[in-house]
Structures are given as structure tokens and as C-alpha cells.
Amino acid sequence: MKENNLLTEITIPSNNDIHDEALINEFANGVGKNVFILTPSYPFVFIGRIIDVVGDHVVVDVKVTTIGELENRNWSIHVHQIEVFYIEEKGMPKIPELKVDI
Amino acid sequence: MSYEKEKDVKQQQDFHEKRIEEEDREFDGMLRINIANIEDELFEELQGLVGDSVLFVTQTDQLNLFGQTFRPIFCGTIIRVTLGDVTLFPVNIKMINAPFFQFPTPLSIPLEKIAHFTPNFDCNERIPLT
């Protein structure tokens, strides 16, 4: 076989790992705060209070989602499945009291 | 594993050990593993864009907000960047029937969910979404 001089450079931890871990930290720092989460998977929206972070899942006491039957229970949400979110901060707008009236 | 291969592996290991003795963390040849200088260029670039108006598109095909499906196209001013996410406020979601819908709160996008972004984008610009 011919000498292969192609070089693959790896950095450990990789940028992807750093971003993934930092995202978990964001949620860990937000325990006790209200959160708004959009995911591409059903039921798409979660609004509630962050209770805990377990591994790379965030546990949310969900008050509002698209489906009434799925509200008022704890949901464990995979952090890396979240597409967009907002953890309520002091001095920033509050998450509106969204209610579904369909 | 054939004897020849074993020999190869052994040689490689010996070689590797020798390299470590020389306080060199590099594999010879195919692979270089860097555990010393971690640089997050994307993070630094985004930090340089704080205060700028940026258009972000994220990975998924579509999102759903209380019955409204929309493409994940967000335009807004970057107010905060962490190693895990970028926060926009004010932020405009480009919905098909409401292209200038202003979301009432800031929105954070995980860096790993960003599919692409373009800086210095005028959020009032009309863009076809199909």
C-alpha cells in the first residue's frame, strides 16, 4: 500500500462535545426557573419550571403544551433534542401565559 | 489476527511509546490528537457578532407553535453567547403568513442546532420561505 500522508486532526474534547456539555450546564444553572422549549418532535412545545437535570435530560414541570392531556406532569426532555428555548432571566421579558384555545 | 498484523501493531505501539517519551503527543501519520490548545472559533466568531442582526436557520424541517407550523428561520440581534447557545432578542420568526412575527421573549439556539447563519442580515427584508 502506498504511504498515506493524509492527516486527520482531532481536538479532544471536540467543539461539538464542548457545545453539548455547555448546553447541559445552561439548563443546570436554570433549575427553578421557568422555561420555554420548542422541539421538532411531538408535542412540540413545553412551558414550565425546570426541576432538575438528569444526565443530558432536563426535567420540567410542564404547565402548558399543545395537548391538554399532557399538561401538569413532569416531562424529562432530552437537552440535545431541543431546537430553541428560553430560560426566564431577571430583567428580561417573562414567558407569556400561553393557553391553548383550539 | 495474523502474526504479521500482530507484529505491525506491536511495532506501532513501540513507536508510540517512544514518541511519548519524547514528550510529543502526536501520532505519527494518519492522526493528530490535540488536547492542549482548545479553541472554539465558532464561539469567538459569534461573540464578535454580539449586537449584530443575524439570520439563523436550524436543523429541523419544521417547528410547531400551537398549531402553526413554520420553518425554523430566526432573525434577531445577538444579546448573549455561551459555549452552548446563542441568545437573540428581539427575535423575529419568519412564519409564512406572518413573516414579521416578533417573539415576545428572547430565544436561545443551541450552537449544535445551528444549520447555517448569515451576519448583518436586515430582518425587515422579505424572503420567500418555500
Tell me the domains of chain A and their CATH numbers: 31-102 (2.30.30.520)
pTM of the model: 0.80
B66 to A100: CB separation less than 8 angstroms, yes or no: yes
pLDDT in tens, B57-115: 999 999 998 888 999 999 999 999 999 999 999 999 988 888 888 999 999 999 999 99
Number of residues in chain A: 102
Within 10 angstroms of residue B32's Cβ, the number of other Cβ atoms is 14
A interface toward B at CB cutoff 8 Å?
4-13, 15-16, 18-26, 36, 38, 40, 44-45, 66, 80, 82-89, 92-96, 98, 100, 102
B84 to A19: CB separation less than 8 angstroms, yes or no: yes
Query: Which of A19, A36, A85 shows the shortest C-beta gap to B112?
Result: A19
* Distance between B56 CA and the closest CA of chain A, angstroms: 11
B105 to A36: CB separation less than 8 angstroms, yes or no: yes
Task: Parse chain B into domains and list their residue ranges.
Answer: 1-38, 41-118
* pLDDT attached to residue B98: 85
3-state secondary structure of A1: coil
B111: alpha, beta or left, given left = phi > 0 and alpha = psi -120 to 50? Answer: alpha
Nearest residue on chain A to B56, judged by CA atoms?
A: A84
ipTM over 0.85: yes
Q: Which residues of A touch B37 (CB under 8 A)?
A: 11
- CATH code for B41-118? 2.30.30.100
- What is the C-alpha radius of gyration for chain B, rounded to an integer number of angstroms? 23
* pLDDT attached to residue B128: 85
pLDDT tens string for chain A (102 positions)?
566 678 887 888 888 999 999 999 999 999 999 999 999 999 999 999 999 999 999 999 999 998 889 999 999 999 999 999 999 999 999 998 765 554
* pLDDT attached to residue B103: 93
* pLDDT attached to residue B127: 84
Select the residue from A20, A84, A87 to test the B interface by mutation, using most B Cβ atoms within 10 A: A84
C-alpha separations of A77 from A18, B27, B53, B60 in Å: 20, 40, 30, 17
Q: Give every CB contact of residue A75 below 8 A, 6+ residues apart in sequence.
A: A46, A48, A59, A60, A62
Residue B1 above 50 pLDDT? Answer: no
Which residue is listed with cell 504479521? B4
* Distance between B126 CA and the closest CA of chain A, angstroms: 23
C-alpha separations of A92 from A22, A95, A101, B21, B107 in Å: 21, 9, 26, 54, 11
- Given CB atoms, is B110 within the 8 Å cutoff of chain A? yes
Mean pLDDT over B6-27 rounds to 57
